[in-house]
Amino acid sequence: MPKVTIYHNPRCSKSRQTLELLRTQGVDLEIVEYLKDPPSESILRDLSKKLALAPHEMVRKKECAKLDLAENLSPQQYLKEIAKHPVLLERPIVVCGKRARIGRPPENVLEILD
Protein backbone atom coordinates (compact mmCIF):
# COMPACT_ATOMS: atom_id res chain seq x y z
CA MET A 1 0.00 0.00 0.00
CA PRO A 2 1.29 3.48 -0.80
CA LYS A 3 2.10 5.78 2.07
CA VAL A 4 -1.02 7.25 3.69
CA THR A 5 -1.04 10.84 4.91
CA ILE A 6 -3.71 12.45 7.04
CA TYR A 7 -4.05 16.22 7.27
CA HIS A 8 -5.21 16.25 10.86
CA ASN A 9 -6.58 18.68 13.40
CA PRO A 10 -6.49 17.04 16.85
CA ARG A 11 -9.24 19.39 18.10
CA CYS A 12 -11.70 18.15 15.45
CA SER A 13 -13.83 15.13 16.38
CA LYS A 14 -14.15 13.92 12.76
CA SER A 15 -10.41 14.18 12.34
CA ARG A 16 -9.80 12.18 15.52
CA GLN A 17 -12.40 9.57 14.45
CA THR A 18 -10.79 9.24 11.01
CA LEU A 19 -7.32 8.87 12.53
CA GLU A 20 -8.60 6.13 14.87
CA LEU A 21 -10.34 4.36 11.98
CA LEU A 22 -7.11 4.33 9.97
CA ARG A 23 -5.17 3.02 12.95
CA THR A 24 -7.67 0.17 13.44
CA GLN A 25 -7.09 -0.70 9.76
CA GLY A 26 -3.38 -1.04 10.51
CA VAL A 27 -2.45 1.73 8.11
CA ASP A 28 1.08 3.14 8.29
CA LEU A 29 0.40 6.85 8.65
CA GLU A 30 2.11 10.15 8.27
CA ILE A 31 0.21 12.66 10.38
CA VAL A 32 0.38 16.28 9.30
CA GLU A 33 -1.05 18.72 11.81
CA TYR A 34 -1.81 21.27 9.13
CA LEU A 35 -2.53 24.11 11.56
CA LYS A 36 1.04 23.81 12.91
CA ASP A 37 2.61 22.93 9.55
CA PRO A 38 0.45 24.59 6.87
CA PRO A 39 0.54 23.11 3.36
CA SER A 40 1.98 25.27 0.59
CA GLU A 41 -0.04 26.42 -2.40
CA SER A 42 1.65 23.68 -4.43
CA ILE A 43 0.61 20.98 -1.96
CA LEU A 44 -2.91 22.40 -1.84
CA ARG A 45 -3.11 22.35 -5.66
CA ASP A 46 -2.03 18.70 -5.58
CA LEU A 47 -4.64 17.91 -2.89
CA SER A 48 -7.31 19.60 -5.01
CA LYS A 49 -6.43 17.33 -7.95
CA LYS A 50 -6.32 14.18 -5.82
CA LEU A 51 -9.65 15.05 -4.21
CA ALA A 52 -11.12 15.95 -7.63
CA LEU A 53 -12.47 19.12 -5.99
CA ALA A 54 -12.09 22.75 -6.93
CA PRO A 55 -10.23 24.80 -4.30
CA HIS A 56 -13.45 26.50 -3.18
CA GLU A 57 -14.88 23.04 -2.40
CA MET A 58 -12.00 22.37 0.01
CA VAL A 59 -12.84 25.21 2.38
CA ARG A 60 -14.97 25.35 5.48
CA LYS A 61 -17.76 27.82 4.76
CA LYS A 62 -18.07 28.98 8.39
CA GLU A 63 -14.37 29.81 8.50
CA CYS A 64 -14.66 31.76 5.22
CA ALA A 65 -17.46 33.78 6.75
CA LYS A 66 -15.43 34.46 9.90
CA LEU A 67 -12.55 35.76 7.77
CA ASP A 68 -15.00 37.68 5.59
CA LEU A 69 -13.66 36.14 2.38
CA ALA A 70 -15.45 36.86 -0.85
CA GLU A 71 -17.24 33.87 -2.34
CA ASN A 72 -16.15 34.65 -5.90
CA LEU A 73 -12.39 34.19 -5.57
CA SER A 74 -10.46 32.50 -8.35
CA PRO A 75 -9.10 28.99 -7.72
CA GLN A 76 -5.60 30.45 -7.31
CA GLN A 77 -6.88 33.03 -4.82
CA TYR A 78 -8.54 30.27 -2.78
CA LEU A 79 -5.25 28.34 -2.69
CA LYS A 80 -3.42 31.47 -1.50
CA GLU A 81 -6.01 32.09 1.22
CA ILE A 82 -5.94 28.48 2.44
CA ALA A 83 -2.14 28.56 2.56
CA LYS A 84 -2.27 31.83 4.52
CA HIS A 85 -5.16 30.69 6.77
CA PRO A 86 -4.98 26.88 7.07
CA VAL A 87 -8.04 26.91 9.36
CA LEU A 88 -10.02 27.28 6.10
CA LEU A 89 -9.08 23.78 4.96
CA GLU A 90 -11.77 21.12 5.25
CA ARG A 91 -10.70 18.30 7.50
CA PRO A 92 -9.50 15.69 7.74
CA ILE A 93 -8.01 14.96 4.34
CA VAL A 94 -6.49 11.53 3.79
CA VAL A 95 -4.15 10.87 0.86
CA CYS A 96 -3.21 7.42 -0.44
CA GLY A 97 -1.14 7.40 -3.62
CA LYS A 98 -2.90 9.44 -6.30
CA ARG A 99 -6.24 9.61 -4.47
CA ALA A 100 -7.56 11.57 -1.51
CA ARG A 101 -10.80 11.86 0.42
CA ILE A 102 -12.23 14.13 3.07
CA GLY A 103 -13.13 12.12 6.17
CA ARG A 104 -16.69 13.38 6.54
CA PRO A 105 -17.92 10.85 7.45
CA PRO A 106 -14.70 9.07 8.47
CA GLU A 107 -15.64 5.94 6.48
CA ASN A 108 -15.20 7.91 3.24
CA VAL A 109 -11.45 7.40 3.48
CA LEU A 110 -11.70 3.61 3.35
CA GLU A 111 -12.52 3.67 -0.38
CA ILE A 112 -9.04 4.97 -1.28
CA LEU A 113 -7.06 2.40 0.68
CA ASP A 114 -5.57 -0.17 -1.69
Which residues are identified as catalytic?
A: 12
From edge to edge, which strands make up the β-sheet containing 99-102?
Answer: 29-33, 4-8, 93-96, 99-102
9 burial type by CB count under 10 A (0-12 exposed, 13-18 middle, 19+ buried): buried
In terms of Cα–Cα distance, which of 90, 40, 98 is closest to 60?
Answer: 90
